[in-house]
Structure 1
Amino acid sequence: MKYIKIGIIIILSGHLSVSCGESTAEKNSAFQTDAMMVRIAEIEIDSNYVDDYIDILKVESEASVRLEPGVICIFPMYQKGNPTQIRLLEIYANKEAYEAHLKTPHFKHYKESTLHMIKSLDLVDMESIDPDTMLEIFRKNWHQNGIKKWEY
C-alpha cells in the first residue's frame, strides 16, 4: 500500500508539472523546447593529448551541468576505437543560456587549457525532429529522480 501511495504521488506530481494530456503547444511553452539550443560539437584531438583532454573535458562538462541551470546536457563521448574523435551533445535551455555558459570560469578554463590539443572543431547546430519525444526523455528522468518541475 505504501508503494502504491508513493506511485500515485509521483504520478500526480508529474501531472502537475507536465500533464500527459497537454497539447504540444502547452508542453513546448512549459519546457520551451522551441527555444532550446541543440548542437553537436565534433572535435578532433591531437593523439598526444587524448588523456589530458578527456580529463579536462570531464571536469568542464560535469561543472556545466551541475552549476548552470540553463545547461540541460553536455554529453561527451568518443568514437569507439578512435578516442581522438570526440563528440559532444549539447542542449541549452535557450541561446542566452549558451552565451552565459561561454562566460563561466569552468568553460574559460577548459577553452584556454585545451586550445593547443584540438586539431579541429566543428559546431553543428541541430533542430529537433520530434520535440515530443525529447520531452518524454526528460519526463522519464524527472520521474525516476523525483524531480517535480523544470527549473532554469
Structure 2
Amino acid sequence: MKKLGLLTILTILLLGSCNRGHINETEVDYDRMMVRIAEIEIVPEFRDDYVAILKEEAEASVRLEPGVICIYPMFQQDNPNQIRLLEIYASEEAYQSHLQSPHFIHYKTSTKHMVKSLQLVDMEALDPETMPALFLKLGE
C-alpha cells in the first residue's frame, strides 16, 4: 500500500511538472537538449517549507516557459531530506532564460537558507527520441 501511494504521488508530480504538450508539439533538437539531475540536501526543519516552494516553482516553470520540458522533483524514500530534480530543457539558452524567470529567482532566494548542499549533475540521454512517447503514455 505504501508503494502504491508513493507511485500515485510521483505520477501526479510528473504529470504536473513535465510539459507533455511542449515536447510533442515542438520540433526538439535532441543535440541541443539539456538534461540535468540536481542533488539537494535540505535542512530537516525546513523540509515542508522547501517542498511547498519547490512545487510552485516547478509547476510555474513548466507552465510558463516553453523551453522547460520537465522539472520533476523527487525525494529518497529512506531520507526525505535528500531531494532530486530531473530537469530537461530544450537548450542551454532555455536553461539560462529559466534562471532569470521571476518564479525561479523567488525559489532560489527564498530557499537559500534551507539548502545544506546542492550538486548539479549534467546528463546525456541514451535514447532521447523515445522521450515523446514517454510523455504521451503518461496522458493515457
- State the TM-score bracket (shorter-chain normalisation): 0.7 to 0.9
Secondary structure in 2 aligned to 1:31?
Answer: coil
Under a length normalisation based on structure 2, what TM-score does the superposition of the two structures give?
A: 0.77
Q: Bigger radius of gyration, 1 or 2?
A: 1
Of residues 78-87 and 127-136 in structure 1, the stretch that sits farther from structure 2 once superposed is 127-136
Aligned to 1:37: 34
Provide the C-alpha distance between the structure 1 equivalents of 2:128 and 2:70, rounded to a whole number of angstroms.
Answer: 15
Under a length normalisation based on structure 1, what TM-score does the superposition of the two structures give?
A: 0.71
Provide the C-alpha distance between the structure 2 equivalents of 1:69 and 1:133, rounded to a whole number of angstroms.
Answer: 20
State yes or no: 1:85 paired with 2:76. no
Secondary structure in 2 aligned to 1:51?
Answer: helix
Aligned to 2:72: 75
Aligned to 1:21: none
Residue-pair matches, total:
117
Q: 1:64 aligns with which of 42, 55, 61?
A: 61
Runs of 4+ displaced beyond 4 Å = none
How do 1:3-152 and structure 2 match up within 5 A? 30-140=27-137, 144=139
Provide the C-alpha distance between the structure 2 equivalents of 1:81 and 1:138, rounded to a whole number of angstroms.
Answer: 28
Provide the C-alpha distance between the structure 1 equivalents of 2:32 and 2:133, rounded to a whole number of angstroms.
Answer: 17
Report % sequence identity: 64
Provide the C-alpha distance between the structure 2 equivalents of 1:78 and 1:57, rounded to a whole number of angstroms.
Answer: 12
Provide the C-alpha distance between the structure 1 equivalents of 2:128 and 2:90, rounded to a whole number of angstroms.
Answer: 13
CA displacement at 1:139 relative to structure 2: 4.6
Provide the C-alpha distance between the structure 1 equivalents of 2:134 and 2:111, rounded to a whole number of angstroms.
Answer: 32
Unaligned runs of 5+ in 1: 1-16, 19-29, 146-152
Aligned partner letter, 1:34:
D
Provide the C-alpha distance between the structure 1 equivalents of 2:76 and 2:110, rounded to a whole number of angstroms.
Answer: 22
Provide the C-alpha distance between the structure 2 equivalents of 1:68 and 1:60, rounded to a whole number of angstroms.
Answer: 11
Secondary structure in 1 aligned to 2:88?
Answer: strand
